[in-house]
Amino acid sequence: MSKDKKLKEKILKAQQDGDIASLYVLEQQAHDTFDEETLQSFYANILDLALERLTQTLEEHRAMDMNEVQDFATLRALYEYAIEHYSAGESNDAAALFEVLSGLSNDEKFSNAIKLHWMAAQEKISFDDFLDRIADIEATQRAGTFYISEFKQEAQKLLDNMKDKGGKA
């Protein structure tokens, strides 16, 4: 059996099992093996599974647990989806997604970081400006998180500005 066929079988099994974490484990292999169109389908499947888990979580009135592998992978997929919107200039959609994400996890550090994303998108700060002025990419890389978790001093100004406007900072 070819490597390509084996990989497709592994991906299909993970999809059938609703196993987002396994799909992320197979991500590099998918990048090395598939063309752009197939990769888009791969990520669309991850997103579909994440949206199903989001719906289920909301219906159960529970918070996602960063220590539970499927919840972690779901939060990552939803975060990447929100970032995709933000980087495409769709700040209203991104803000709505970040708002939901900020209340979805039991991890306070994640929730607080996502609130800053939400506020920046709400304030129509471009994604590039967010990366340049607010996010601390080097510190985030050192922290090893899948999300932008470290911020520059400018972030405090954003928080203060939202508080002054009577926002939920």
pLDDT in tens, 118-162: 999 999 999 999 999 999 999 999 999 999 999 999 898 888 877
Give the helix ranges, DSSP H, for the chain. Answer: 3-17, 20-25, 27-33, 36-59, 69-87, 91-102, 108-122, 127-129, 137-143, 154-164
Q: What is the mean pLDDT of residues 76-86?
A: 97
For 28-56, b/e burial (b = at least 16 CB within 10 A) is: eebeebbeeeeeeebbebbbebbeebbee
For residue 165, the model assigns a pLDDT of 72
Domain boundaries, the chain: 1-62, 77-169
Q: What percent of the chain has pLDDT above 90?
A: 87
pLDDT, mean over the chain: 93
Confidence of residue 166 (pLDDT cuts 50, 70, 90): low
DSSP three-state, residue 64: strand
Q: Is the distance from CB of 114 to CB of 83 less than 8 angstroms?
A: no
Radius of gyration of the chain from Cα atoms?
17
Which pLDDT does position 169 carry in this prediction? 47
Q: Which of 51, 56, 45 is nearest to 16 (CA)?
A: 45
What pLDDT digit, counting tens, does each position of 19-71 carry? 999 999 999 999 999 999 999 999 999 999 999 999 999 999 999 999 999 99
Q: What dihedral angle (degrees, nearest 10) is formed by the CA atoms of 51, 148, 38, 20?
A: -40
Does the structure show a pLDDT above 90 at 167? Answer: no
